[in-house]
Amino acid sequence: MLRDDTGDGGRRPSRNVLGQPLASCSYDPLTGFYRNGCCDTAASDVGSHTVCIVVSDEFLKFSKSRGNDLSTPLPGYGFPGLKAGDRWCLCAPRWQEALEAGATPRVVLQATHEGALAHCALEDLKRYAMDLS
């Protein structure tokens, strides 16, 4: 069962923004707050690493300009550095910031945790969705 605080010490399966079971985001590179491949969250995830994005060069440049260089490898932390096309669990507030700055990365809704909705509007996420028909 995936992590998701219910406030009473119990766990329930994580759900995506569409109300369905949360799909994995990426195992290569390994992503997620818990580094389990999913955009799971809990109270300890203060950054809300809940939006599964498809990385673009434009977004990497934007993120670096905001002080979060996601493209440079950090081998000591097991971080390979991201490149365009990679999937990554991004902090929901950062996704919202990128939206407002016009550097919005695409989203995988099936792998985006419902917790992202505390920071992002579902309609905005759907507008950048890769997995909506």
Q: In this structure, is residue 98 part of a structural domain? A: yes
Q: In this structure, is residue 111 part of a structural domain? A: yes
The two beta strands, 87-91 and 106-107, are unpaired
Q: Which two tokens stand for residue 110?
A: 């099936």
Cβ pair 118, 48 in contact under 8 A: yes
Structurally, how many domains does the chain consist of? Answer: 1
Q: Which two tokens stand for residue 123?
A: 């309609």
pLDDT, tens digit, 9 for 90 and up, residues 66-118: 999 999 999 998 899 999 999 999 999 999 999 999 999 999 999 999 999 99
Mapping DSSP to helix (H, G, I), strand (E, B) and coil, where does residue 128 land?
A: coil
Confidence of residue 2 (pLDDT cuts 50, 70, 90): very low
CATH number of the domain where residue 80 is located = 3.30.56.110
